[in-house]
Homo-oligomer: A and B are copies of this chain.
C-alpha cells in the first residue's frame, strides 16, 4: 500500500483508477506539507515528498502539476492552483483574447519517497491548445479550457476519467511510476 498525499479528491480518483490496473493499492493521505516556490515542478515535488515522509513515516507519492502556456512565457506554470483560485479560467481566456498562438502543455511530476529516503520522480507531459471558451464540466482546474492534440475538438473537461486517463499528463507520469514500482 502506498499513500497519495493530496487534498484534491479528483487527482486521487484519477490515480486510484489508473494504479488499480497495475494492482497497486493507494490510499489518500491528507497532511499539510510545505510547498516551495520554484519555477521547477520537479524540485517542488521532490521537496514535498521528502517533507511528507518526514511527517508521516509512510511510503508516499505526491504530485505537482501545472499548465504552461507558451504565449505567456509558461504562466501559470507551478502556480496554477493559486491562479485558478484567483483569476480562474476566465482570467486566462481574457489574457489570451485575440491571440493566435494558443499552444500549451500540462505537465505532471509524480515523486515517490519511502522511509529509507529513496526519492524518484516521473514526468508526464501532454501537448494541447487553450480553447476560446470554457467547454465541459468534467475534470478539474483548467481542464475545460485545454484541448489535447491527440483528441481534437474536445477539452479535458469533456472527457470521462477513463478517457482522460488514456492521454493525460498525470496518467503518463503515474504509468511511468507504476512500471518502475512493480519492479522496485
Query: CB-defined interface of A20-38 with B at 8 Å, one 1/0 digit per residue?
Result: 0000000000000011111
**Whose C-beta in chain B lies nearest to the C-beta of A35?**
B37
Query: CB-defined interface of A86-108 with B at 8 Å, one 1/0 digit per residue?
Result: 11000100110100000000000
Instruction: Report how many copies the assembly holds.
Output: 2
Q: Does A72 contact B (CB under 8 A)?
A: yes
Residues of B within 8 A of A73 (CB): 85-87
- Choose among B77, B86, B97 the residue that contacts A72 (Cβ–Cβ < 8 A): B86
Q: Does A39 contact B (CB under 8 A)?
A: yes
Number of interface residues of A (CB under 8 A): 25
Q: Does A3 contact B (CB under 8 A)?
A: no
Query: Once the chains are docked, how many angstroms separate the CA of A95 from the CA of B73?
Result: 16
A32-53 at interface with B (beta carbon < 8 Å):
34-39, 44, 47
Given contacts A36-B35, A82-B37, contact A75 B87 (CB under 8 A): yes
Residues of B within 8 A of A34 (CB): 36-38, 47
Q: Does A136 contact B (CB under 8 A)?
A: no
Given contacts A35-B36, A36-B36, A37-B37, contact A91 B83 (CB under 8 A): no
Q: What is A's interface to B at a CB cutoff of 8 Å? A: 34-39, 44, 47, 72-79, 82-83, 85-87, 91, 94-95, 97
- For this complex, 28 residue pairs linking A to B, each with C-beta atoms less than 8 Å apart, are A34-B37, A34-B47, A35-B38, A36-B36, A36-B37, A37-B37, A37-B44, A37-B82, A39-B82, A72-B87, A72-B91, A73-B85, A73-B86, A73-B87, A74-B86, A75-B82, A75-B83, A75-B86, A75-B87, A76-B86, A77-B82, A78-B82, A79-B82, A87-B95, A91-B95, A94-B94, A94-B95, A95-B95
